[in-house]
Amino acid sequence: MPNHLAKETSPYLLQHKNNPVDWYPWGKEALALSKREKKPIFLSIGYSACHWCHVMEHESFEDESIAKALNEKFVCIKVDREERPDLDQIYMNATQRMTGGGGWPMSVFLTPDLKPFYAGTYWPPRATPSHAGFDQVIESVAAAWQNKREAVKDAADEITRVLANDGGQMLAGGSLSQELLTGAVERLGRNFDSAYGGFGGAPKFPAPMSLQLLLRQWHRGRDATALNMVCVTLDRMAAGGIYDHLGGGFARYTVDAQWLVPHFEKMLYDNGLLVATYIEAYQATRNENYARIAQETVDYVLRDMTDPLGGFYSTEDADSEGVEGKFYTWTPQQIREVLGEEAAATFGQVYDVTQQGNFEHTNILNLPKSLVEQAKTLGREPEELKRELRDSRAKLFAAREKRVHPHKDDKVIVAWNGLMIDAMARAGVVLREPKYLEAAEKAADFLLTHLRSEEGRLLHTWRRGQAKLPAYLDDYTCLANGLVSIYEANFSSRHLDEAIKLMDIVLDKFGDSEAGGFFFTADDHEKLIVRSKEIFDNAVPSGNAMAATVLARLAKLTGDSKYHEASRQTMLAAASLMRRAPSATSQTLIAVDFELGPTFEMVLAADFQEPSGREVLADLQARYLPNKVLAVASATPSTALVDLLRGKEMLGGAPTLYICEGFTCQAPAQGPEEIDHVLDGLIPQGLFD
């Protein structure tokens, strides 16, 4: 018989509905049962693409004796961390405090009043030489609750006090200065892997926000070292096994420092952030390979991760047919069957396919050498080799499509969609591909239509027609940021107005008037043991960092001081943290870079029915000018842009660009040549000489 998860919408929870563990979803029924029966709670948090979550389910949660012990001694609650990041934040913080580490599956034991007193991650079902068995953990925790209850409660109270104080770390304050940015580059440089790119050793994560920060510092100070860190990292990732060379898109991370062996799960947020990073790098360097990687990744999302109604799905699993990476790896024989002997030999030479393999006797496709180097080795013309490899990849992709695909988590999460909307809007204009911008618009309109309460508040997640759960800070801020990017791509006042509405809700419902910044949950959210603040970036930018970013953009577009003040106060509250841990606060540092300026308000007045108007706009959008906002003169502007657009009109019948700073404008630039000359003065010189 199914347990209490059978009526849930989360694919992760539904994966556990037939476990013998009597799982409940987090909610009134389970919490009341714990209080009524004075039973502690066993809280298990994971997500559908988590490999070790699957392992623990198979080993322990499908084990009848373990299930019996859990059911007798605890109220068992299963949570999808992607649905309830508020719970995940609180109890992951507790787990890290108690154990010195964290990860998923996360396993936390709570008192009936929801205070944590024991925690861990994965436990094997029975003891091993290096790990306690989960069966032992269950017995020990149950015995402690039975025999030492007051001591357990005292420990739970103490850790809860510590968690409550963690939000106060934003109180430290500080100042905003160029030194924050140069210090961040220096710290990142000390941790940079000059051989393979990225920061630190294995396991290695892409760190897209840090790369975007480094690009801005290159732009600001002509720092060739910062640009080199970006390019080496992007080049190595694009050549490594972390990138899907047949289907596009990036895996979550690699278990090695060389970007070769990924943990094969693909997450929407990683790909959104990396598309944005490759787009910015393409704008900065005009390296066509960066454009190709961005385009292939967006194409992957549109092909495999997009709902017919427009929203973007969350994740694809690492496993297929119960084997990690099976969908993505190849043997030489499999490649010969598709390509034939000669083409397979060439492909194997270029993509590191050998008989012994590079991953569990199979091969992860990667590019150990550049195409030019391989062409020289093979005695081939580079362009001819490129064409053959393109054809071979297409054939192998078609063959791979016939395999059993990894499980897809098809729920739609607003924050992650906001990151992808931002990336697609930017990709659409920079790559001059209208379908990408159209996909961003469709996704935004879907979210604004289908993930809203009757009161106009956002909802967090949607799956198969059902939207639910109040949205969190990062839902509002990431979506608002994506909407501003759509506005700067298509100049639809509707999208800008919606971004303003969302951020007004953030100011009203999430703000901390005492310490600055914003809470992760609204003031009318379900009451939990603490009301947490998300300050540090993890795999995604923190909600506070995104709030600072989008508020700064809105302040420049609208001239409204309340947005500027809220953005600045959020940055100031995190200043000491940025100084100590720049790699964990890179998105806030990006907002600081924008705040310190020079940051320009640009208005283009042109006839966009004419080729000259369209070309000037396309050139402006294609340039790497991170510290700007862009509007176009319009007969029916958003009321929020009245001050910015006042008096801005086309002069002499030619496209006219107004460049302002703090709403004080330079002389307008008239015509394509003069506009081009003025814009050239805003970027570092020498890169393209």
**Do 11-169 and 178-321+408-596 come out as alike in CATH topology?**
no
Token match 């496709």: residue? 365
- Tell me which amino acid residue 259 is: W
Confidence of residue 686 (pLDDT cuts 50, 70, 90): very low
pTM confidence score: 0.95
Q: Which of 282-291, 314-323, 338-347, 438-447 has the lowest mean pLDDT?
A: 314-323
Q: Note the Cα 565 to chain centre separation in Å.
A: 26
Contact predicate 253/262, CB 8 Å: yes
How does pLDDT run across 381-405, given as a tens digit for each residue?
999 999 999 999 999 999 999 999 9
In CATH, what is the architecture of 178-321+408-596?
Alpha/alpha barrel (1.50)
Burial class (CB in 10 A: 0-12, 13-18, 19+), 127: middle
Closest CA to 270 of 240, 301, 247, 292: 301
Residues 6 or more apart whose Cβ sits within 8 Å of residue 377: 349, 369
Across the chain, mean pLDDT equals: 95
Q: Label residues 233-254 b or e (16+ Cβ within 10 Å = b).
A: bbbbbbbbbbbbbbbbbbbbbb
Tokens representing 98?
């108690």
Three-class DSSP category at 263: strand
What is the band of 515 on the pLDDT scale with cuts at 50, 70, 90? confident
Task: Give me the residue spans of the domains in the chain.
Answer: 11-169, 178-321+408-596, 328-400, 600-680
pLDDT value for 638: 86
155-170 confidence digits (pLDDT tens): 999 999 999 887 555 5
The pLDDT of 112-120, averaged and rounded, is: 97
Residue 169, pLDDT score: 56
The class of domain 600-680 in CATH terms is alpha beta
Assign a CATH topology to domain 11-169. Answer: Glutaredoxin (3.40.30)
Residue 657 exposed, middle or buried by CB count within 10 Å (0-12, 13-18, 19+):
buried
Q: Name the pairing type of β-strands 24-25 and 75-80.
A: parallel
Interior angle at CA 172, CA 170 and CA 174, nearest 5:
105
- Measure Cα distances from 8 to 4, 23, 41, 284, 406 in Å: 8, 11, 20, 46, 21
CA dihedral 171, 172, 176, 177 (to 10 degrees): -170
pLDDT, tens only, 404-423? 999 999 999 999 999 999 99
Q: What is the DSSP letter of 668?
A: P
Distance CA(44)–CA(12), nearest Å, equals 12
Question: At a CB cut-off of 8 Å and minimum separation 6, what does 304 contact?
Answer: 247, 249, 316, 408
